[in-house]
Amino acid sequence: MKNLKMKHKNKFHYRKIIFIGSSVKTVLNSFFILIFSSTIYCQDTTHVDHSNKSYYLLNPYRLVPNINSQNNKYVDLDNDGDPDVLDSFSENNIPILWIDDDDDMREGDLQGDTDSDCLMVDLNKDGEYGSYSDVVIDWVDNDNDNIADMQIYLEYVEEANKDKPWGPGHLMISMDLDKDNIMNYIDWNTFKLRGWVHDGQGDFYEDYHGKNLFLKIHTSPEKMNDLRLNWENPFLFYDPDNDGLTEYAIRLLDIPVRGEKGDEYLTRLTGNISWVSMSYDLDNDNGIGNEMDYDLTLSFRGEGFNYMDQKHSFPNLRGLPESDKYFMDSRVRKLDELIYPDHETALDLIYNRGNWNEVYFIYDEDDDCNRWERVELYDPLDPYITGKNNGGLDDNPQADVVGNRGEWDLDNSGEGNLYVSDFDGRIHLYGAELGYWRIDQNAYYYHGMGGLYDGYGPERLSNEVENLFPVVKYIDSDNNGFIDEIEYDLDGDKNIDQKFSLIELGISDRSEIIKSADMDYQNYKDLQSAVSNNMWENALDAIAVAKDINMDLSWYALLMHPKSIEQKYKYGYWLQFYLFQDFMELYKRTGRENVTVAKAYFGKNWKSLIQKRN
């Protein structure tokens, strides 16, 4: 650890004296001018002001040291002759303690280090640390390379809320598996965790990018029955192409039993994962300016699986024993292991150990989701009611109010498997009894990063629905696991405008079942690529049929030139849908049965219309 020093240098302005003549008077005058000038400029010292001062309106990237070192106190806890604790104040006068867990602190140091030390913050200035209303940030170097690869953030509830089993409060453990030295994003002026602060659409300052994980719970740590466990246990981020961005994420929840006042522990974790979400960037189109772009989320709910055998040893977690006295609950400093499924075991445990009752599915049809954890799931509720906790599909305030397609298998008959339908060429949830798509063609109700916890406001960016929106309903009427009825409300008036039954059209609703348990990320990418390319190929068939009857296609020029996998998917779908409507109108106007058009469209057999015409 090195002393932090700030150097102040005087600015000396030297003047060159040109002697004109050789008289003593001239020399003396010039001499006094030089002395006078030097005296004046010696008083003009450089003004040094730290650019991270708490009263500046800039990002507080670091904890600014308090340079008034005369107020610092050093404590030798283990009597080894060097300090173990630095008792100081933050630059904005908040009492802090630095605990030197790696025994490299020296007298005169203004701060601890961020490789293995622990920072305690007495936010309420009551003279106690690691207590109510306080914050603790602990850095851990697990591989002994003098760089932290774990950061523990503890936020203790205010005493007035000590009997609440859930929130406020935090225990969040971040692990830097991709070795970029980025973990939690903390406001060092307030010591608050700011997990939703971001640049652009989705470049979050918290390390949700690349291969990483965190464990997190919204409660004060002294309330937890077992600190080896957690609620989000864990949140896993995967980076299979090693570009520093996240291609898919898995969230596993151990939902705690909430106790009552008087219980020893109010937040009792179970050692059982009962809720899972898996989110995928299917076309891998993330990049600079589009750091987060998941397309699909699968979620399992039910009895789940026990994970108590998923132990991970971290001997360096143990803090300096003599410092335990500073914590009202020192268990967190005595940990040497954590229990959680990891990147390698999570999928196997989900599919082979999990016992699930329900599966939720969502697809981001308007491609406007920049959330870091998932495309937020719709609930199987009213398709028209909007607003958080209001009983509609977007009951979850983190969900896109309009624009996504949700499907639900509420008896897990399909076991989380997928299929690509012929009737629309899209990925669907096998076993889903019901589905809805709220259409938002232009992403008017832009989802972005969700808005709920964005640090700039409490709500979604698009919260109030200003206009009616179209709704498509999907039904599995014969309970064989495949959708066979499609209803369109295209003007949003809650009345069906068009309804089609594959059974009545004589079209099989069955498709090849895709075993999601057998899929890795490359399989998901290949699936989306095949879906998008097939969607566009079918659109080209529809265009060929339209050209064959000299239909004016110039109206759809905007949709004719896809430049990406996502545009092939989107443009291909909408070209077919609009041409389907055009052919339906044409057949009706010319006295022909438009059921022929419906069979061609839903059966993905556009060329049959040429055959019928001939």
pLDDT in tens, 333-376: 999 999 999 999 999 999 999 999 999 999 999 999 999 999 99
pLDDT digits (tens, 9 = 90+) for 288-315: 999 999 999 999 999 999 999 999 999 9
> DSSP for 163-211?
T-SS-S-EEEEEE-TT-SS----EETTTTEE-TT-EETTTEESSS-SSS
Which H or E run includes 598? helix 595-602
Statement to judge: residues 136 and 234 lie in one domain: yes
Residue 317 identity = L
Highest-pLDDT range among 3-7, 55-59, 285-289: 285-289
Q: Are residues 168 and 44 in the same domain?
A: no
pLDDT category, 51, cuts 50, 70, 90? low
- For the segment 121-130, what is each residue's pLDDT rounded down to a tens digit? 999 999 999 9
The phi, psi pair for 499, rounded to 5°, reads: -140, 135
* φ/ψ of residue 28, rounded to 5: -65, -45
b/e burial code for range 191-224 (CB count within 10 A of at least 16 → b): bbbbbbbbeebbbbbbbbbbbbbbbbbebbbbbb
How far is it, in rounded angstroms, from Cα 97 to Cα 127?
A: 11
Closest CA to 182 of 151, 138, 143: 151
* Closest alpha carbon to 452 in 385, 400, 391, 378: 400
Looking at the structure, do residues 39 and 133 belong to the same domain, yes or no? no
- Give 505's DSSP letter: H
Residues whose CB is less than 8 angstroms from the CB of residue 149 and which lie 6 or more positions away in sequence, other chains included: 140, 141, 142, 143, 175, 176, 177, 179
| 396-411 pLDDT per residue, tens | 989 999 999 999 999 9
Please report whether residue 458 resides in a domain.
no
- Region of poorest pLDDT, from 33-37, 349-353, 455-459, 465-469: 33-37
Reply yes or no on whether the pLDDT at 21 is more than 80.
no
Same domain, 130 and 75: yes
Straight-line distance from the first to the last Cα atom of the chain, in angstroms, rounded to the nearest whole number: 86
Predicted local distance difference test score (pLDDT) of residue 28: 37
Instruction: Tell whether 42 and 74 lie within a shared domain.
Output: no
For the cut 80, the answer to whether the pLDDT of residue 379 exceeds it is yes
For the segment 440-454, the average pLDDT, to the nearest whole number, is: 80
**Long-range pairs, 596-604, Cβ under 8 A, ≥24:** 598/500, 598/505, 599/505, 599/506, 599/507, 601/576, 602/422, 602/423, 602/424, 602/486, 602/500, 602/502, 602/505, 602/507, 603/422, 603/423, 603/505, 603/507, 604/422, 604/423, 604/425, 604/538
Phi, psi of 517, deg, nearest 5: -65, -25
387 within a domain of the structure (yes/no): no
pLDDT band at 167 (very low <50, low <70, confident <90, very high): confident
In a shared domain, residues 174 and 261: yes
**Is residue 601 a part of any domain in this protein?**
yes
The pTM (predicted TM-score) of the whole model is 0.90
Tell me which long-range contacts 474-477 makes (C-beta under 8 A, separation of at least 24): 474/407, 474/428, 474/432, 474/434, 474/435, 474/436, 474/437, 475/433, 475/434, 475/435, 476/432, 476/433, 476/434, 477/501, 477/503
What six digits make up the tokens of 52? 């991270």
Let me know whether 145 and 227 are in one domain: yes
State pLDDT tens for residues 264-287. Answer: 999 999 999 999 999 999 999 999
| Confidence grade of residue 463 (pLDDT, cut at 50, 70, 90) | low
Domain-ending residue, one of 331, 353, 375:
353
**125 and 23 inside one domain:** no
Q: Are 598 and 503 in contact (CB under 8 A)?
A: no
- Could you tell me what percent of the chain has a pLDDT over 70? 88
Mean pLDDT computed over 529-548 = 98
Q: Cα separation of 159 and 173, whole Å?
A: 23
Q: Quick check: is 552 in a domain?
A: yes
Residues 44 and 73 in one domain: no
Same structural domain, 240 and 323: yes
Domain for residue 177, yes or no? yes
| C-alpha to C-alpha distance for 560 and 568, rounded to whole angstroms | 9
How far are the Cα atoms of 555, 571, 576, 582, 604 from residue 559, in angstroms, in the given order? 9, 5, 10, 15, 19
Which tokens in the block code for residue 35?
């002395």
Instruction: State which H helix or E strand residue 478 sits in.
Output: none
Q: According to the model, what pLDDT value does residue 39 have?
A: 38
The domain tally of the chain equals 3
User: Higher-confidence residue: 431 or 452?
Assistant: 431
486-510 pLDDT per residue, tens: 999 999 999 999 999 999 999 999 9
Say what the pLDDT of residue 9 is: 35
> What is the spatial distance between Cα 318 and Cα 139, in angstroms, rounded to a whole number?
11
Residues 242 and 106 in one domain: yes
In-domain check, residue 323? yes
- The predicted-structure confidence for 213-269, as pLDDT tens digits, reads as follows 999 999 999 999 999 999 999 999 999 999 999 999 999 999 999 999 999 999 999
* Alpha helices (H) along 457-590: 502-505, 521-548, 565-589
Q: Answer whether the bond into residue 315 is a cis peptide, omega within 30°.
A: no
pLDDT-derived band at 162 (thresholds 50, 70, 90) equals very high
Q: With 80 as the cut, is the pLDDT of residue 26 above it?
A: no
Query: Would residue 241 count as lying in a domain?
Result: yes
Q: For the chain, what is the mean pLDDT?
A: 90
Q: What is the pLDDT of residue 54?
A: 62
Q: Summarize pLDDT for 404-444 with one digit per residue, the tens.
A: 999 999 999 999 999 999 999 999 999 999 999 999 999 99
Burial-class residue 31 by CB neighbours within 10 Å (0-12, 13-18, 19+). Answer: exposed
* Residue 147 reports pLDDT greater than 90: yes
43, pLDDT greater than 60: no
In angstroms and rounded to an integer, the radius of gyration of the C-alpha atoms of the chain is 32
Asked whether residue 497 is domain-assigned, the answer is no
Q: Is the pLDDT of residue 37 over 60?
A: no
Q: Quick one: pLDDT band at residue 451, thresholds 50, 70, 90?
A: low
- Residue-wise pLDDT for 558-595, tens only, equals 999 999 999 999 999 999 999 999 999 999 999 999 99
Q: In the 8-state DSSP scheme, what is residue 554? A: G
Place of tokens 């009962």: 274
Q: What pLDDT was estimated at residue 460?
A: 54
Q: What is the pLDDT of residue 49?
A: 55
Name 554's Cβ contacts closer than 8 Å, sequence gap at least 6: none
Distance between CA atoms of 156 and 133, rounded to whole angstroms?
5
Write the pLDDT tens digit of every residue in 88-99: 999 889 999 999
The answer, yes or no, to whether residue 52 has pLDDT greater than 50, is yes
Structural domain containing residue 30: 1-48
Same domain, 73 and 188: yes
